[in-house]
Amino acid sequence: MKRGPWSLAAGLTLLAACTSVASHHHSEPELARLRAAGYRVAVLPFAITAPDDGFVAQSLGPVGDLLALEQGRDLPRRDRIAALLHDDVAVWLQQSDYQVVDPWHVATTLAHAGLSSDAIQNRSRAREIAALVGADALLYGEVRRWNRGYYVLQTVVDVALQLELVDGGSGRTLFTSERTETMGSGLTGGPTGYVSAATEPIAGLRGSYLRNLSRSVARHAVADLNGGELGDQPGPTTPRLGVVALARMHDGPFRAGERIDVIAVGSPDCLVRFDLGRLRVGVPMNPIARHDDPRGARATYVGHYVVADGDDAADLPLSCTILRREARRSVALRVRWEGAVSLGSPAIAAGRTP
């Protein structure tokens, strides 16, 4: 009976060493509004405070060296790791709802200003640096773990990243997050035979594991900063469009001065725009009617484009995009009409009602 608590403790310890994610973050309430209004963020160079790997892991490390660290060989290895995580975060932030100051602009401006690493990391200088790089806010990052631990029958790989978003106007911290992702290989992976008990922990030192973890940490940390998942995956709260069509059919191409009228029916209280191929994009549409229905409310949106002199294109696809006005984050849904539209003098328009 006395064995029970010990077994439980041992089990929990093993599980803790297994693949896991520890994450906590905090956002100030005004961040969603700022994001929707086009908040411009500069990602500063990241600091690294991760401890050095132990001797054994360092010795075995080369079995999984990282291609991604081959670049920037003029930098010390630890700085290259910080740069790698910085780039991952900057890349994903560019897929989010924030506007991102070009990384090369930030790097060049900071280099020209002659600021030291300590000065850049000094939060009390946030306003000065934000003004310097032309950003509304600064994103600081610190790589706290980037480690591989080898314990003969078990390998643990972990990456931890802390992010902090500081408003460049007020100097206030608007967002903080700390995320640690751990991957265990060996005993905690499951039933392990004699051979795999020895080989799995060594395989777990692979550089690709460390790289995948770092990418995952960066992606998820930015998703937290963005208030939700990245990648525009429609969910249950994503607004829908049921109908997209030309409001008035037209024989032949639309000529200069003629109107292309588009109608869409979908979720109410949303922002709707239409695109003619990639030639004319984001043409605004306005709601003209709301239909309350037991199955859910719908709204009708209309918009138009007045064909300009010089507009000349054949068979452009017509599509509409809908997104919530006051979304926690803006997942947009794009719907295509089955027909096509021609402008100017080329081939006949091929409009068909859906």
Partner 1 sequence: MRTRSAALVAGAMLAAACGGVSHQLRRGAEPPRSIAVLPFAGDADPELRAAGRALLQSRLRAAGYLVPEAEWVDRALSERGWLRDPDAFDATALPMAEATLALGVDAIAVGSDLCQSSFNVLLLRRHAVGGRLALVESDGRTYWAADHAASRFGGFLLTSGQVFEELRAQGVHRTPMATLALLDEFVADVAATVPTRAAATAAAPPPSVDEAIATRTPLPDGGQRLVVEARASAGAVLTFALPTLAAGVPMVAVPSGDGRHRGAHDLPPGTQLTRIDVVARDAFGREARTEARP
> For partner 1, which is the closer residue by CB, 2 or 278?
278
Which CB atom, from 88 or from 167, has the smaller least distance to partner 1?
88
Q: Please answer whether residues 175 and 225 qualify as being in contact, where contact means their C-beta atoms are separated by less than 8 angstroms.
A: yes
What long-range pairs does 280-289 form, CB within 8 A, spacing at least 24?
Answer: 280/305, 280/311, 285/320
- At 296 the three-state DSSP class reads coil
Question: Looking at beta carbons only, is 33 or 172 nearer to partner 1?
Answer: 33
**Given the complex with partner 1, which of 73 and 295 has the nearer CB atom?**
73
Distance (Å, rounded) from C-alpha 329 to C-alpha 107?
Answer: 29
Q: How far apart are CA 46 and CA 214, in angstroms?
A: 14
Please, what is the minimum distance in Å from the beta carbon of residue 266 to partner 1? 18
Closest contact distance (angstroms) between CB of 92 and partner 1 is: 8
How many angstroms separate the first and last alpha carbons of the chain? 71
Residue with smaller CB distance to partner 1, 173 or 302: 302
Q: What tokens does 206 get?
A: 């692979």
**C-alpha distances in Å from residue 337, one per residue of 134, 250, 262:** 41, 15, 10
The encoded tokens of residue 229 equal 């998942």
Tell which phi-psi region holds residue 294, choosing left (phi > 0), alpha (psi between -120 and 50) or beta: alpha
Cβ 53 to partner 1 shortest distance, Å: 21
Closest of 200, 206, 189 to residue 14, by C-alpha: 189
Inter-residue contact 87 to 69 (CB < 8 Å): no
| Least distance in angstroms from the C-beta of 242 to partner 1 | 20
Least CB distance to partner 1 at residue 151 (A): 16
Pairing of strands 270-276, 313-324: antiparallel
Nearer to partner 1, 56 or 69 (CB): 69
The nearer residue to partner 1, 92 or 176, going by C-beta atoms, is: 92
Q: Write down the least CB distance from residue 297 to partner 1, Å.
A: 22
**Binding residues vs partner 1 (CB under 8 A):** 18-19, 67-68, 70-72, 87-88, 90-92, 94-95, 99, 102-105, 107-108, 185, 188-193, 195-197, 199-200, 208, 211-212, 215-216, 219, 229-233, 259, 273, 277-284, 286, 304-306, 308-317
DSSP conformation letters of 39-76? -EEEEPPPEE-PPPPPHHHHHHGGGG--GGGTS-TTS-
Which helix (H) or strand (E) segment holds residue 315: the answer is: strand 313-324
Please report how close the Cβ of residue 82 comes to partner 1 at its closest, in angstroms.
13
The nearest distance, CB 189 to partner 1, in angstroms, is 3
Nearer to partner 1, 56 or 197 (CB): 197
What are the phi and psi torsion angles at 41 (to 5°)? -115, 135
